[in-house]
């Protein structure tokens, strides 16, 4: 049986999230699956937002979330880590990618993704293939899919 409290290494990072309900749902996903969450500020809402609190319920533990004041601070701290960007602009599917236990998986802002300068900084860019050229999934759904696959690959679920 696996230790439920173990630090698995996989990190989910959110770039300037702007929808409180999505961020709250992602906090719950990470808490339930044991992943660490990193948030690159600024957020487009306050953590006291009632929409955020309604969805996050009692899953919010700020000790389990690392906040970065900016993308510069985030990338400075990740110099020795592999960052994978999830983006609809990628050509490689997540299903053909080999995740590592120390990866940080970055998701862009719901309304705009990440800026081009960040796309250019990250070598590994992946997408979730969708039928009929649909535009995108909800970010919380995307986090669930990618986190489950990465945990499966590194044998933690």
Q: Can you give the CATH number for the domain in which 145 is found?
A: 3.40.1280.10
Residue 65 lies in a domain: yes
The residue segments making up the domain with residue 80 are: 11-153
How far is 41 from 13, CA to CA, in rounded Å?
11
More confident residue, 36 or 54: 36
Of 14-28, 44-58, 69-83, 131-145, give the lowest mean pLDDT range.
44-58
Residue 1 lies in a domain: no
Residue 122: how many CB atoms within 10 A of its CB?
Answer: 17
Residue 103 lies in a domain: yes
Residue 1: predicted pLDDT:
36
Residue 5 lies in a domain: no
Residue 72 lies in a domain: yes
Residue 135: how many CB atoms within 10 A of its CB?
Answer: 6
DSSP state of 7: -
> How many structural domains is the chain composed of?
1
Residue 63: predicted pLDDT:
63
How far is 15 from 74, CA to CA, in rounded Å?
10
> Is 60 exceeded by the pLDDT of residue 134?
yes
Residue 109 lies in a domain: yes
Mean pLDDT of the chain: 88
Q: Tell me: the pLDDT tens digits for 90-131?
A: 999 999 999 999 999 999 999 899 999 999 999 999 999 998
Residue 6 lies in a domain: no
C-beta separation of 144 from 30 below 8 A: no
Residue 50: predicted pLDDT:
84
Residue 3 lies in a domain: no
What residues contact 102, with CB distance under 8 A and at least 6 apart?
9, 10, 81, 82
> Is 70 exceeded by the pLDDT of residue 68?
yes
């Amino acid at each position: 049986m696996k230790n439920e409290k173990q630090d698995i290494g996989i990190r989910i990072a959110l770039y300037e999230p702007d929808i409180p309900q999505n961020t709250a749902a992602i906090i719950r996903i990470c808490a339930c699956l044991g992943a660490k969450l990193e948030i690159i500020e600024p957020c487009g809402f306050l953590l006291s937002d009632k929409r955020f609190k309604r969805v996050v319920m009692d899953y919010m533990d700020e000790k389990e979330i690392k906040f970065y004041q900016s993308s510069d601070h985030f990338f400075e701290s990740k110099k020795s880590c592999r960052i994978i960007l999830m983006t609809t602009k990628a050509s490689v599917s997540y299903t053909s990618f080999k995740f590592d236990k120390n990866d940080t998986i970055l998701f862009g802002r719901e309304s705009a993704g990440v800026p081009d300068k960040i796309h250019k900084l990250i070598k590994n860019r992946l997408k979730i293939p969708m039928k009929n050229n649909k535009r995108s999934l909800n970010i919380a759904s995307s986090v669930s899919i990618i986190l489950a696959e990465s945990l499966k690959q590194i044998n933690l679920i």
